[in-house]
Amino acid sequence: MLDTLRSAMKIRDLRNRVFFTLYMFIVFRVGAHVPVPGIDPKVIEQLFATGTLFGLLDLFSGGALKAFSIFAMSITPYINATIIMQLLTVVIPRLEKLAEEGVEGRKRLTQYTRYATTVLALIQAVGMAFYLRNMGALLNPGFGSLAIICIVLTAGTTFLMWLGEQITEHGIGNGISLLIFAGIVARLPAGTGRILNYIRVGTISWFNLLVLLVGGLVVIAAVVWIQEGRRKIPVQYAKRVVGRRMVGGASTHIPVRVNTAGVIPVIFAQSVIMFPATIAAFVDHPWARAVVKFLDYGTWPYLTLYFLLIVFFTYFYTAVVFNPNQVSNNIRKYGGFIPGLRPGRPTAQHLEWVLNRITLAGAIFLALIAIMPSFFEGLTNIPNLYFGGTALLIVVGVALETMKQIEAHLLMRHYEGFIK
């Protein structure tokens, strides 16, 4: 990895992309410490002392929620809008046609996603503003103060969405995933300090910390193993005459990843499960309190729903990324076939059969790792262990994908291996 980074620094374009990404991280971290006007920080501190949901939300916002900064809602509304648009693309023929129109169609869908992000962010901001007014966290509980809070929070999320798109276009990696990555990593020093403080006061022992570290290393190794795992489906290309040349006759394979969707299902599931609980937490009503209690972090309903959502989104996103019928048509178009199978529908059915079974293993693995912190809390007696399975999955997964993109950029610029 260090060799890859060292090689990247030698190429001007790639170096500029890396530095641009780092500059955007600095902007993100500076914005996470710009407070929303009209908020009493002491009341916010008390809220975080009483609820585990707020601590989990704060982890994904990189500490912006605890400071109640302009980025307090993080990028969650954008993720929810993306999920809604992808689901609607499957249901609504007009949107499905746009998705198939190429670059222009995707631009239109991206624009719709931006509009949906703004609407969802405004709804969440209104809920947060009224909740803070009910809790006495506003210095001036008038309409003007509520309006300013809603506008600032919505603008903060919209700016983060733009920041993520800029990283994707001019930087390295997926901008939205990298912002979540940066937020989680930024909370690592605070989490480490909290655990060391637990040891100092005698809440936990060094043995508990050792168990946690060993478990974390095992999880990281398992994540890398699954993320890099592939099922190679052999493909044979028949010889054919093109002009005066004989082409084809080569043997290759289709690499089907065990976890085709990467860490996207975890991010999607986390956003979906937190959204209703977040909105309900900002409404002072008996049914809202019942929803918050039902979806409280670490409870069995929360873990069960979280597990099922990860499995669902793994299959859903894999279906979006990998289309067996399209792959089968491409194989037949170029004169290829899978040994023992006829081109066309039998090939597509075989690819779908392999994909469904290999995705099940990847989905269950992701779900088990994501709910693992709750069991580690019981094993190590370390309370509020937010930097656990979900955070490790996102951090390791995003780091792997980013390194692959850097290697792809290097491969485009280094031809010595092909020449030799």
pLDDT tens figures, 147-167: 998 999 999 999 999 999 999
Question: What was the pLDDT predicted at 50?
Answer: 52
Mean of pLDDT values over 259-268: 80
CATH number attached to the domain at 1-186:
1.10.3370.10
pLDDT, tens only, 345-402: 888 888 889 888 899 988 998 888 888 777 777 666 666 665 556 777 778 888 888 8
Q: Any idea which architecture 204-387 has in CATH?
A: Orthogonal Bundle (1.10)
Does 25 score more than 80 pLDDT?
yes
pLDDT tens for 81-116 read 888 888 788 778 888 888 777 788 888 888 999 999
CB 394 within 8 A of CB 184: yes
In this predicted structure, what is the pLDDT of residue 116? 92
Per domain, the residue ranges of the chain are: 1-186, 204-387
Q: Give pLDDT tens digits for 103-150.
A: 888 888 889 999 999 999 998 888 888 878 877 778 888 888 889 989
Cα–Cα distance, 157 to 278 (Å, whole number): 16
Q: In the chain, pLDDT over 90 holds for what percent of residues? A: 10
Each residue's pLDDT tens digit, 31-78:
888 888 888 777 777 766 555 555 556 666 666 777 788 888 888 888
Asked if residue 418 has pLDDT above 50, the reply is no
**Long-range contact pairs involving 332-336 (C-beta distance under 8 Å, separation at least 24):** 334/237, 335/237, 335/238, 335/240, 335/248, 336/235, 336/236, 336/237, 336/238
Supply 270's token pair: 């986390």
Q: What is the pLDDT of residue 76?
A: 82
Question: What is the rounded distance in angstroms from the CA atom of residue 18 to the CA atom of residue 410?
Answer: 13
Query: Is beta strand 240-242 parallel, antiparallel or unpaired with respect to 336-337?
Result: unpaired
Q: Do domains 1-186 and 204-387 have the same CATH topology?
A: yes
Q: Looking at residue 35, what DSSP letter applies?
A: B
User: Residues 208-232: what's their mean pLDDT?
Assistant: 82
Q: Which long-range contacts (CB under 8 A, 24 or more apart) does 45-54 make?
A: 47/135, 47/137, 51/281, 52/296, 52/297, 52/298, 52/384, 53/274, 53/277, 53/278, 53/281, 53/292, 53/295, 53/296, 53/297
